[in-house]
Amino acid sequence: MAADLSGRSVAVLATDGVEQVELTQPVKALKDAGAQVHVVSPKTDTIQGWNHFDKADPIPVDQPLGQVNPERYDALVLPGGVINPDQLRIDPKAVQFVRHFVETGKPIAAICHGPWTLIEADGVRGRRMTSWPSLRTDLRNAGAQWVDEEVVTDMGLVTSRSPKDLPAFCRKMIEEFREGRHERRARATGAADEGSARAAERPAAQEPHVGR
């Protein structure tokens, strides 16, 4: 597997409050598979990792979010932890960064609370996926088909529920990242955007005039 992802670049988007093991284990798996991996964050220098309710270790930031172009990356990882995605999903630059991967059909792997940011980037509608159980209603309300499985893949989107699913998550992540961009998903996203734009431009129906 050492050369599976040779020549591929992967962004791991995270900030303070990230569940540490959900960042460090995927990063290790990706590097072991030959990928170049960057931790991208709105923060600079380091972010604070967490082990569920307890502080863990500082994690070095490789690329500040405001200085990096998402086009340089072939795939995206979204770790969980409650605090981490709750901050990212209200950061316009973070949401726009994620939206690039959604709109271009590049593979995305999100675990635990990570899919929260995908909702803001309109990346879950019509997708079969899983997450930490407390996100179930949010994802369903955003148009996802939520299932309770250790790992779910759907046209380049890999999702898992929690740290206990990391072995399966990392295996599927490597598989999907090796396959690369899903043209069919990119076309479907583009078609949906065009349809929404046409609907927005369509003039409102005129009420019939009733004479007195």
* Pairing mode of beta strands 9-13, 36-41: parallel
Sheet holding 46-51, edge to edge: 18-19, 46-51, 54-60
Question: With 0-12 CB in 10 A as exposed, 13-18 as middle and 19+ as buried, what is 187?
Answer: exposed
Set 52, 112, 170, 182: catalytic member: 112
> Is 113 annotated in the active site?
yes
92 three-state secondary structure: helix
> Is 170 annotated in the active site?
no
Whose tokens are 């998550």? That residue is 169
Angle, CA of 172, 173 and 178, to the nearest 5°: 100
Angle, CA of 154, 156 and 157, to the nearest 5°: 60
Sheet holding 9-13, edge to edge: 63-64, 36-41, 9-13, 75-78, 108-111, 157-160, 151-154
Residue 3 to residue 42: CA distance in whole angstroms? 31
Residue 40 phi, psi dihedral angles, 5° rounding:
-110, 135
Set 113, 170, 182, 209: catalytic member: 113
Active site residues: 112-113
